[in-house]
Amino acid sequence: MTASSDTAVVCDSSQYLPPEVIAAKGIGVVSLYVSIDGDQQRETEITDYDDFYSRLRQSSSGATTSQPSVGDFLAVWQPLLDQGKEIVSIHISSAISGTFEAANQARQRLVDDDQGGERIHLYDSEMACGATGLCVLAAAAAIEAGGGPEEALARAREVRETLKMWFAVDTLEYLRKGGRIGGASAWIGGALKIKPILTIDREIAPIERVRTRSRSLERLRGYARQLHESGADAWVVQHIQDPETAEVLAADCQEIFGGKPAFISEIGPVIGAHVGPGLIGLGAISWSILDAD
């Protein structure tokens, strides 16, 4: 986002873009919340992921998460509105989080109070993590290229229509406990020992059941080749508490796609609380969608 832009991009904390990317593009972030054993924190204030996941493993009751409050949205939006800006606010799928509904409520309050709510343009990414992050980057690229809210939303929709991120997870147990398992619920039962591959298409959706970690990684490599053959070249790798495997997969993707990633990052506590350590995720779109020229 250029300093002179009339449009700002805002998102919630569940996209897990690298902090330096958020800062460089001037993207506003509204934090979700996570609680372990009654200790609630803003996700954006948790910087030691190793400590968080250590506490998660040791907790008998696990972690709970909650969406931002109306006031949290207002605190991020209001300064931008006061500068006369339009706002494109992009969020995690409404099917798995109340964040988008809270954003709607906050926008409506501003409309009712005649505080500029009509200048806020909400977008439900219908995805999460890196997929939502790519929507955010695409919207920011449109604005950098001189576009306004309509162009930014069109870019975000282009990501939504062309991207499907795959996630290999170590176990379905965390998703089962958290009630976020969606269409993968049919795999519960004797299937808890599998290494499933999932995606988010509004809700958690199953892709494939595999028996070993090595097989799930091979399927992700195969998916990378498939994405490259379809014309995608801006790739993303994300992980939870497994930087070594992420590094290996990233090296493979560098070779498969023939170029650098859009970003590589670790997924934080809000999504991690529901998925658990050991996730490896992969997706890719065309660099043209992220091009600011």
Report pLDDT digits (tens) over 53-64.
999 888 888 889
Position 134 scores a pLDDT of 98
CB atoms near residue 205 (< 10 Å): 13
Fold assignment, 166-290: Hypothetical Protein Tm841; Chain: A;domain 3 (3.30.1180)
Model-wide pTM > 0.95:
no
What are the domain boundaries of the chain? Answer: 7-34+63-161, 166-290
pLDDT tens digits, 165-191: 999 998 777 776 655 555 445 455 445
Give me the percent of the chain exceeding a pLDDT of 70: 92
Output 149 or 182, whichever has higher pLDDT.
Answer: 149
Cβ atoms of residues 120 and 105 within 8 Å: no
Q: What average pLDDT does the segment 138-166 reach?
A: 97
Fold assignment, 7-34+63-161: Rossmann fold (3.40.50)
Question: Residues with Cβ < 8 Å from 204, sequence gap 6 or more?
Answer: 96, 175, 180, 181, 182, 183, 184, 198
Output 78 or 194, whichever has higher pLDDT.
Answer: 78
Q: What is the dihedral of CA 123, 126, 132, 138, to 10 degrees?
A: -50
Given a cut of 50, whether residue 220 has pLDDT beyond it is yes
Q: Do domains 7-34+63-161 and 166-290 have the same CATH topology?
A: no
